Amino acid sequence: MAKIKHTKNELKSQREALRRFERFLPMLQLKKMQLQMELQSIDGQVAEKAAQEADVRASLDRWVSLFAEPMELDGMTKAARIVLGESNIAGVSVPVFKDVVFERAEPELFESPPWLDDAVEVMEQLIQNRIAIRVLEEQKRLIGEELRTTAQRVNLFEKVKIPEAREHIRVIKIFLGDQQTAGVARAKFAKGRTVDFAESSQLYAGAEEAVERVGDP
């Protein structure tokens, strides 16, 4: 436990700190819950995108297999520019997927199958879907880091700061109470000695007066 002063000012300081910790803790707990819910939402979005990609790939394979002359689609299109936005989630700035600008290769007009354009569009859907997943994974990474930091702060407040402040308050109050009790005891003792001295003085004065009366003719 940190060393503290056993004074009224320190007691006031510790009480203010406790109120501050107890005020901040619910906000941190709420933020932790929001971040956890957001991570669950991102996991759901990633799973949905992955399922969509699997469906598109399966349909593409079935579709291309219908033609007598399969064609290699790699290199026919590529992502030239990725458009991202930005969002704030529980205080965390994260990228948000907006769009992809594609750059297509020029096919041989007479040598390309008629379904090539449609196939390239499907490929672009796959690429766009994969990029969207990567952006979601980056969101998850950033939010996960913030969640770890927030969880550490919640634990610090719950298990260290608040119990420590309460213990400091308890110790200071006991010390000040003991001091007050000792002060009252000293005051009573001093008062008792004053009364005893006064009574002794009165007895001494009375004895002197008796002696004087005896000595008078």
182 located within any domain = no
Residue type, 45: Q
Helices marked H in the chain: 8-64, 116-156, 162-215
Domain count, the chain: 1
pLDDT top residue among 56 and 24:
24
| Whole-number Å distance between alpha carbons of 130 and 125 | 9
| pLDDT, mean over the chain | 80
Out of 111-120, 128-137, 154-163, 173-182, which region has the weakest mean confidence (pLDDT)? 111-120
* Strand 92-104, strand 77-89: pairing: antiparallel
Evaluate whether 147 touches 89 at the Cβ level (below 8 Å). Answer: no
Residue 70 lies in a domain: yes
| pLDDT reported for residue 96 | 95
In this structure, is residue 167 part of a structural domain? no
How confident is the model over 29-56, as pLDDT tens digits? 999 999 999 999 999 999 999 998 888 8
> For residues 110 and 28, which has the higher predicted lDDT (pLDDT)?
28
Look up the domain containing 137 and give its range: 8-160
In a domain? residue 205:
no
Residue 83, in any domain of the structure: yes
- Per the domain annotation, does 28 fall within a domain? yes
pLDDT classification of 161: cutoffs 50, 70, 90? very high
The answer to whether residue 208 is domain-embedded is no
For residue 200, is it within any domain? no
What percentage of the chain exceeds 90 in pLDDT?
A: 47
Residue 34 belongs to domain with CATH number: 1.10.287
